[in-house]
Amino acid sequence: MYRLFISLSEGTRIAFSALWANKMRAMLTTTCIVIGIVSVTAMNTITDGVDRFFDDSMDMLGRNVVYVDKWPWGFGGEYRWWEYRNRREMEVGYAERLRDLVPAATEVSASVSRSGTIRYSDRTVESAGLNGVTSAYFQTAGLNIEDGRAFSEPEEHRGARIVVLGSSVADALFQDEDPLGKQVRIRGQRFTVIGVLESMGSFLGLEDMDNQAILPITAMASIFDIRWNVRLSVQFADENMIADGEYEVIGAMRQIRGLDPMDDDDFAINKASLFEEEFRSMKMVIYGIGIFLTGLALFVGGIGVMNIMFVSVKERTKEIGIRKAVGAKSWEIRLQFLMESIVICMVGGLIGVVLSAGVTYIINQFFIAYMDWTTVVNAIIICTVVGLLFGYLPSNRAANADPIESLRYE
């Protein structure tokens, strides 16, 4: 064990000395590894970033919520829009009936969304999302109030002209002012601000969830026609109840709609898992392409390392003969050159990780990327494996060299 430790430390020292003595050659060799590691870490940071961003979006959507809509979310299979368009619209009153017919549900809400302009004084927010909702919506949508409060069920029933603003809408309209108690105009009608939502970011990078205003659905009915695109949200205690809860919701909706046993459902059941299934299939394609490209980059880098190690073994043939003549074992020679191969890859890997941090920052300006310590550890492990795999043949040739022929080498 002691001799192994000495051989490892000596092999590492010789490896660094060899790199220092051949700086240009070492730089060109490590460049191949740098490119491979940057490719690997860039793929890792992008996929990790997409995974985290997708998980946050799914949490925002609600993994324990079943949505009842007229239209299904269009994932996979044939989308029979000509059938869906003829379905009856959802009704706000269904929410109360679902609450009675689905006892396992913790909350049921109804909501309807439109787009409009919100004004305060001389400031305007164009194309804001206007959501008319029942009071339970704050729970089914997982919304948190940062300042002020949500509206109550009595306020909803009497159609109070009150509104809860998304954080970006509040910032744009009020800037340094306190929005609570102020009045904004929506379609010419005055609404009093009673709350501001916590910032949520964007959903799947497409929709800004902070660019919205939430008002009682009865007040929404006074400024918009809400007879179409009503959505019902049925929340359960946890995600594990979704499978059974979905069947209860389907049964309840068929009863509410008065469907005969042989009639097809004239409503759609949507849930977060539909997004997740579609995302998994897309992710496998992206990962497959990424693994192929990064594997190709590392293979090219490894070939470069192997080539330079064969050159190094040839140049130091006499040194190998001298070491064997004074008693060095074959495994010690093999270990020495393996350590040199690993050190070359590790140096390239460390440079690649540093460059990847900059690449991750740049990618983050246009897309989503996230680098954590596991990415760095993975890069180091990959470098070690590449060094071992592509350094083995050259080191094995050095270990098996005949000492007499090596001493004669000029």
Q: How does DSSP classify residue 402?
A: -
Check whether 102 has a pLDDT greater than 70. Answer: yes
CB 120 within 8 A of CB 173: yes
Question: What is the predicted pLDDT for the residue at 3?
Answer: 59
User: Which residue, among 125, 104, 173, 180, has the nearest Cα to 149 in the 3D structure?
Assistant: 180
Is the pTM higher than 0.75? The answer reads no
Can you give the residue ranges of every domain in the chain?
2-57+277-408, 88-266
Residues contacting residue 287 through CB under 8 Å, at least 6 positions apart: 47
Alpha carbons within 13 angstroms on the beta-carbon side of residue 410 total: 0
CB 164 within 8 A of CB 155: no
Mean pLDDT of 348-372: 77
> pLDDT band at 10, cuts 50/70/90?
low
Q: Which residue has the higher pLDDT, 16 or 83?
A: 83
- By CB atoms closer than 10 A (0-12, 13-18, 19+), residue 20 is exposed
Check whether 77 has a pLDDT greater than 60. Answer: no
Residues contacting residue 225 through CB under 8 Å, at least 6 positions apart: none
CA dist., res. 247 & res. 243, Å (int): 7
User: Which residue, among 108, 157, 160, 105, has the nearest Cα to 137 in the 3D structure?
Assistant: 108
- For the ranges 150-159, 300-309, 339-348, 357-366, the maximum mean pLDDT occurs at 150-159
Task: Determine the 3-state secondary structure of 316 from DSSP.
Answer: coil
Question: What is the predicted pLDDT for the residue at 190?
Answer: 92
Question: What is the predicted pLDDT for the residue at 39?
Answer: 78
Question: What is the predicted pLDDT for the residue at 76?
Answer: 54
Q: Which residue has the higher pLDDT, 342 or 232?
A: 232
Residue 333 CB neighbours (<10 A): 24
Q: At which residue do the structure tokens 């949200």 appear?
A: 233
- For the ranges 65-74, 210-219, 318-327, 371-380, the maximum mean pLDDT occurs at 210-219
| pLDDT > 90: percent of the chain | 12
Q: Which residue has the higher pLDDT, 16 or 148?
A: 148
Question: What is the predicted pLDDT for the residue at 193?
Answer: 93
- By CB atoms closer than 10 A (0-12, 13-18, 19+), residue 113 is middle
